[in-house]
Structures are given as C-alpha cells and as structure tokens.
Amino acid sequence: MTSKGRTGRKNGHHEGHVSAWRGRYRGSVMVQGKRYWSYGPTRGEVVKKLDAIKLRLRRGEDVRSGGVTLQKYAKEWLDFGSHRWAASTFSNYESAFRLYLTPQLGSRRVDSLTPQHVQACYSQLIAVGLRADGVHKCHKALRACLAQAVKQRVISFNPCIAVDVSKPPEKEKPRLTDAQVRSLAVAAESDRLGSLFLLLMGTGLRISEALGLTWKDVDFSGQVIHVNKQLQSLNGNWLLSKLKTKGSRRVVEIGDSVLNSLRGHKLQQTTEQLRLGSEWRNDLDLVFVGEFGQPLDRHNVLRRNWKNVLAQSDLGLKLGLHDLRHVFATTALSKGMPITTVSSMLGHKDASTTLRVYAASVPQSGRVVADAMDAVLTVAI
C-alpha cells in the first residue's frame, strides 16, 4: 500500500526501493549507512542504476566517492601530489590536466570513464594538433591519476590500461667527432655561460642539475662536484628540489678543463657581484646565474646563449641543451669507458638503462672475444 498516490515496491534486503515520483521514477538503496538515490524515466532504468551501485559495492569500491567528477578528483590528487612529487612531475601532470584532459573529460564521473572515452579524448587531441609526445604525456598523467583512484577503490579498473598509446619515436642520439666536440668547447669560451656548456659536455649532467649547483657543491681541491638537487620553477617561484632517486644523487669527478673553467667562472661571478653591490640577487648561492644573480631559465639559456655558441662553432649542428648529455655519453662509451662508470656519472638507476639508451655507442668487441676463445680452444701442435 502506498501513500499520497505514490506507487512503489520495496525489494528484499539491500535490493533498494523504486517508486513513481513526479512523472518519473526514483529509487534508493542503503549502502554503508547512507541512502543513495537514482532517477530515470522508467522503472527499469532506475533498477539498472541501483544494480550498478550494488555491483560496485560487491567489488569493494568506495561507493560514496562514485559520483565525483574527474575534474574534482584530479584537483584533489594534484593538490596531494604537489607536496610529494618532484616539481617537474607536478608541473607535467598539472599542465596535462589543465590544458587537455579536464576540458575533454573533466565533467565525466570517474566511475563512468571507459577505455572508449579515453581513446576518443586522445583522438580529439590529435585532431586539434597535439603531437604524439604531448598525447603520451597526457596518457601518463591520466593513468597515474586513475591508478590512485583504483587504490582508493573509487573504481575497480583503470581504463587507461586498455588504451594503446604509441610512444613518440626516440630521437637519434647525437654522435659527434672529437674535432666537433672541441669546436663547440672553443666556441663556448667566448660566452658568459661557457663554463656551463663545458660542464654539460664534460660530465653529462642534466641541465636542471647543472643550474641547481651551488658553490658548496663544487669541491675544487677534490676535483669533484656533488649532485644532489635541481633547479625548478613552481608557480612562478624558483626552488631547489632534492633529486628523487638514490642513483641520481651522486659525486661526479671533473677533468682539468672543466675545473679550470669553473675557477674562471667563479672569479667572473665575484667581479659581477662586487660591481652590482646591493642589486646582486644570488640568494641561493648558485654557480650559474643571470647578469643580476637571478636563477636561470633553461629556455632563455638555450635561446640567448647556446644558439649563439652553435652559430659561432660553424658546424651547422642542431643541438639542444639535453643533447650535450648524449654527447658526453656517446663520446665516453666510444672511448671504451666502462658502462657502469658512465651510468654512474649520468645518474641512471642502473647500467641496464644506459646500455638500452646507448647500445649503439658501445664498441663492438666480438672479434676480440672470438680471438681470445680461439686461443683457448686451439690445440697446440
């Protein structure tokens, strides 16, 4: 029997309740001490929605979080990660959601996302001109976000797992001759940041690591530098963040040419500081700074300094700052340097990473091995 003209049907334990309501149907189910409502034009549609809630409950999902949109969930996830991730990781994830993922998928509920939705999003991004590497970065951000949702039992399956995203083709690693490397070094001498470029070529440091070096990190007497942090920009503010892995925190030996270049650079910086007086702004005691002591933006270094060095070298090369890391690795390995030593200097997790990236630069010693084994196996006459 119903009251006030409403017709309804209460099902068994945990089965929910469906009734006519204002020309439509609505149903409810009690889950974890809280009642959840579903609405639809037909009784059958409402029953389906209630069944979906119960199915998610049986899977162990957090039904109470089921209605959250991707935009809201991603914001909470990014807020949480901003204090725990490296600044570069947060920046990449935040920009992927703000520029691409939220406009495409933000209004959808997290528990309603399917592989088809994700694939359609990527197809749309490609259609409007986003390159393959940009789509791959979006996929990485969305996959990480939804992986957390799986851990929190907001969803039971990460739809990104079922979406194939082609990795952008790896750029061929630059391999320069000794003469070309020397020409770059000579051209760099005339630039205010020449010591930075020589350091990159002579040690394989990442540009963010080099720009994050402080004078305390440079041991002139021991002829080593201590690499343990990197320069990052977060929300318009410069900061020195610790390197994430144990392997990336390392002590790197430097040669005489790099050492002498750093000595000359320190003298130059001291002269600039004395000349500017109170206008000098190197509060972080950085090794490489702008003309007023301010932290350096890598893009400005590339545009204002490194491109001039390339032009003066007259080699016709197109190299970015990160390419100097590859120049170091390929040159060192081609000289027969142990791959474990090169890997350590690069700050790779292990030598297998170095071998995978630079296998083509490792001298092939098959003939040496074959001759050695032949000497063992040959029966003396």
- Contacts of residue 235, defined as CB under 8 A and 6 or more positions apart, other chains included, come to none
Examine the pLDDT at 38 and tell me if it is beyond 80: no
- pLDDT tens column, 233-244: 877 789 898 887
CA distance linking residue 23 with residue 3, whole number of Å: 16
- pLDDT tens column, 15-25: 567 888 888 88
Structural class in CATH, domain 70-162: mainly alpha
- Give the pLDDT score at 39: 78
| First-residue to last-residue Cα distance in the chain | 110
What is the rounded average pLDDT for all residues in the chain? 87
- Contacts of residue 111, defined as CB under 8 A and 6 or more positions apart, other chains included, come to 56, 61, 66, 67, 154, 155
DSSP assignment of 1-68, as one string? --STT--EEE-STTS-EEEEETTEEEEEEEETTEEEEEEESSHHHHHHHHHHHHHHHHTT--GGGTT-
Mean pLDDT of 351-362: 83
Examine the pLDDT at 12 and tell me if it is beyond 50: no
Contact 38, 52 (CB under 8 A): no
CA distance linking residue 21 with residue 42, whole number of Å: 11
Nearest Cα neighbor of 149 from 166, 131, 161, 133 is 161
Mean pLDDT of 31-49: 79
Backbone dihedral region for residue 89 (phi beyond 0: left; psi -120 to 50: alpha; all else: beta): alpha
- Give the pLDDT score at 60: 60
- Give the pLDDT score at 111: 86
Write down the pTM of the prediction. Answer: 0.70
- Give the pLDDT score at 367: 66
Q: How confident is the model at residue 201 (pLDDT cuts 50, 70, 90)?
A: very high
Contact 284, 238 (CB under 8 A): yes
Examine the pLDDT at 9 and tell me if it is beyond 70: no
- Give the pLDDT score at 161: 95
Question: What's the CATH code, domain 178-331?
Answer: 1.10.443.10
- Give the pLDDT score at 70: 95
